[in-house]
Amino acid sequence: MGWKAMTKVYVVRHGETDWNRQGRLQGATDVPLNTNGIAQATACRQYFSENKAVAIFTSPLQRAYNTATILNEPFQLPLTPLPQFKERTFGQAEGMTYEERSKVYPRKNYPGQESFPHFIERLKEGLRIIEQRYPDDTVILIAHGAVIHNLFQIVENDDLFPQNARLSNGGISTMYTKNGKWWLGKYNETHHLMH
C-alpha cells in the first residue's frame, strides 16, 4: 500500500485571559493573557516535548501569539502569524457576558459581526496555506474558541466532536489530512495542564 504524505496539526486553544474568566466575548478585541494563561502556555511545552512538530502558526491576536511565543521558548521553531486564524469578529457583542448578550441579542445577530460564510472561507484558506507549506509534516496552530469549533465543522468526521463540547484554554486537539481531506483525531486533550 502506497504511503501518502499527510499534514498533521496540533490545534491549541490560547491560554486564559481575564475576559475568558469573566465569560466575556472577546472576538477581535485584543485581550492579553492573565497569569493563569501564561501558566497554561508554559504547561503546553511538556506536551510538545513528547509530541514533536516542525513549525508553529498562530492567530496574530496577542492572547494566541503570546501563547505561541511562551510555548515555543524551548523549541525555537519557526513561528508564523496567520490572519486567517484570527478569532471571528463579534461586533458590538464583544466585551459582553453571556447574560448581557442573551438579553440584548437573543438571536445572536450581533451588529458588526463577521458573516459566517466569510469566517469559514478564511479558515479553509488558512488550512490550505498550512497544507501547502507542510504537506508531510507536523505543525502547531494556536487559535481561538470559535475558530477551533468551526475548524471541527470543516473536517470529514465532524460527528466526533459534540456541538456543545467545551474547549479548555491550553487544550490541544489534533487534525490531519488523509486523501485530500481534513480529519479530526483527538480533541481537547488537557492532561498536560493537570500537573
Q: Which residues contact residue 106 at a Cβ distance below 8 angstroms, ignoring those fewer than 6 apart?
A: none
- Determine the distance from the C-alpha atom of residue 95 to the mean position of all C-alpha atoms in its chain, rounded to a whole number: 20
Angle in degrees, CA 55, 59, 60, rounded to 5:
105
Return d(Cα 109, Cα 78) in angstroms, integer: 38
Return d(Cα 26, Cα 14) in angstroms, integer: 12
- Annotate 85-103 with b (16+ C-beta within 10 A) or e (fewer): bbbbbbbebbbbeeeebee
* Residue listed under C-alpha cell 486564559: 16
- Determine the distance from the C-alpha atom of residue 114 to the mean position of all C-alpha atoms in its chain, rounded to a whole number: 17
Residues with catalytic annotation? 14, 87
